[in-house]
Amino acid sequence: MNAAEQRRAVSKLLVVRASGHAGDQQRRYPRWELSNEELQRHLENGVGGVILLGGTATELQQRCRTLRSWSGGENLLLCADVEEGVGQRFEGATWLVPPMALGRLQANDPAKAMLLAERYGRCTADQARRCGLNWVLAPVCDVNSNPDNPVINVRAWGQVPEAAGALAEAFQRGLQAGGVLGCAKHFPGHGDTAQDSHLELPVLRHSRERLEQIELRPFRRLIAAGVESVMTGHLVIPVLDQERPATLSPNVLNNLLRKSLDFQGLIVTDALVMEAITGLVGPGEAAVQAFEAGADLILMPADADEAIDALCSALASGRIPSQRLEQSLQRRRDALQRCIGDQNRTEGISTQDAVETINSVETNDEHRFALELVSATLEVQGPSPIQAAPNGGVTLIRVDGALASPFLRPEAPAIGWPARRGFRPIICHELGISPWHDPPQEDDPLALDRLGEGPVLLQLFLRGNPFRAGRDRDDPWPAAIRQLLRLNRLAALVVYGCPYRWESLRALLPGTIPAAYSPGQMTEAQQMLMGRLLGDEHTLELGNEFTD
């Protein structure tokens, strides 16, 4: 092929980031999301993939049509990080409880957990396909063996390899049945790190024997199950490569993943804009080293033009043999053929249903499934309902970060339902209202004069979140709970999200204090939990509509 043809072929291997919104001014992260002008130029020039974030599900449907039109009829890989259902990223679709919720359920009811995991995958696939996506960047195959993991945490399907692998495989079966591509991540395993690779380069100092026993087992299982792609992890594992992170390491991608584990599908990098990579090499060299190492697809290069230029130069100089390019292109063609063939199937989907989903991405059955997951994973202890606070009380709500939480709008059940019982809401986060004494006090950390009088309903929205580098662990909630108990002011404890925080805090409570936990943080989880805890007449039950 000539130079122009080669450049277009190289471009097919890039997956660039775009907003699900139509307008440039609506981009949530303009640093990473290309403008429409840039995006259209790249697609017209052959860029073969787009990862989307933001907007509603119906906006996403139109956005995917637009992207396909800009590509001139070329088959695109259109994907999203929808590990918790399409509604996690796109409003109007179904947002499901985090995968680890089923990992907890699996310990007590393995058969039920497996069935729910497969339905979880099918729900995700069906809605992704209706929205125009053909590739789901899930399941997470990391074994979250480190409770202090700030980036994987509840995204994992379990804390032990057997559960994580079995549930991830069930999820993948659901994706395959729904006709979209899956992606096992983050190879060779990001579950035992205490660092966030969005911010720094983690190092995992395990032996090869340990890797075989823990980290690699879910990946082996997913490869045997036919997962179409594997995403690399930005972490150094010295026993495999002393210097390079897995994403840039031939020992990890070619020798281990391709040869030892016999994976023949697509290898895709994790986002190359992450600081674990940008702190080492520039955009062009990162793309070349990843491709050299064995990656087929380059996800979110820091500069798409520079990545294409560098790859073309490496091919022209012989640094990368031309057959490597053709191998990756063939794997891409094979993957696209699989999902196109699946999308052309019509069993179980009538023409009328297909038309209706243009206006309504979520079906009634899928909404009921989301409620079923919330109900199956909800945990309540102690007496309930809790007593009202007619003379005034406070519900102290802790959320991650300063940005608006999509699950905690002014009408959210976590705010509105306790307010009807006399609990005035106070929402705190690290850059806003602080509930702590300044300077900190070890035994009595809460500055109760900022909260006012009366009982305190404590609600903690906490989970492992990328970009926060584990800062949530610094909050002295155990001491705060002991302080409230000593003063007889703790009305109840609620934890949404992280099971590790729930387990450590619930252990501090006497049997007389009500407490509840939901892995999910979305509106449906709040409704069901508040209904159980408050004995509210609007308690959400499966199969019933809710109006507040």
**342 flagged as catalytic:** no
For residues 447 and 480, the answer to whether their CB atoms sit within 8 Å is no
d(CA 133, CA 61): 8
d(CA 545, CA 541): 8
Q: Given the residues 198, 206, 241, 342, select the one marked as catalytic.
A: 198
Residue 281 tokens, joined: 């090499």
d(CA 395, CA 424): 6
| Beta sheet of 183-187, edge-to-edge order | 183-187, 229-232, 266-268
Question: Whose CA is closest to 61, among 354, 358, 345?
Answer: 358
The number of beta carbons lying within 10 Å of the beta carbon of residue 100 is 30
d(CA 318, CA 321): 6
Q: Are strands 515-518 and 456-462 parallel, antiparallel or unpaired?
A: unpaired
d(CA 487, CA 479): 12
Question: Whose CA is closest to 178, among 125, 119, 120, 121?
Answer: 125
Q: Are strands 515-518 and 379-381 parallel, antiparallel or unpaired?
A: antiparallel
Q: Given the residues 126, 270, 296, 475, select the one marked as catalytic.
A: 270
Residue 264 tokens, joined: 């023949």
Question: Whose CA is closest to 302, among 267, 271, 270, 269?
Answer: 271
Helix (H) or strand (E) holding 78: strand 77-80
**198 flagged as catalytic:** yes
d(CA 327, CA 78): 21
Provide φ and ψ at 78, rounded to 5°: -115, 120
d(CA 412, CA 432): 19
For residues 297 and 269, the answer to whether their CB atoms sit within 8 Å is yes
Q: Are strands 298-299 and 14-19 parallel, antiparallel or unpaired?
A: parallel
Q: Which residues, 6 or more positions from 91, have their beta carbon under 8 angstroms from its beta carbon?
A: 55, 56, 57, 406
Strand partners, 492: 457
Instruction: List strand residue ranges (DSSP E) for 212-312, in order.
Output: 229-232, 266-268, 298-299
For residues 125 and 113, the answer to whether their CB atoms sit within 8 Å is no
d(CA 135, CA 459): 36
The alpha-carbon radius of gyration of the chain (Å, integer) is 24
Q: Give the per-residue SS3 of 88-124.
A: HCCECECCCCCHHHHHHHHHHCHHHHHHHHHHHHHHH
Could you list the active site residues?
Answer: 198, 270
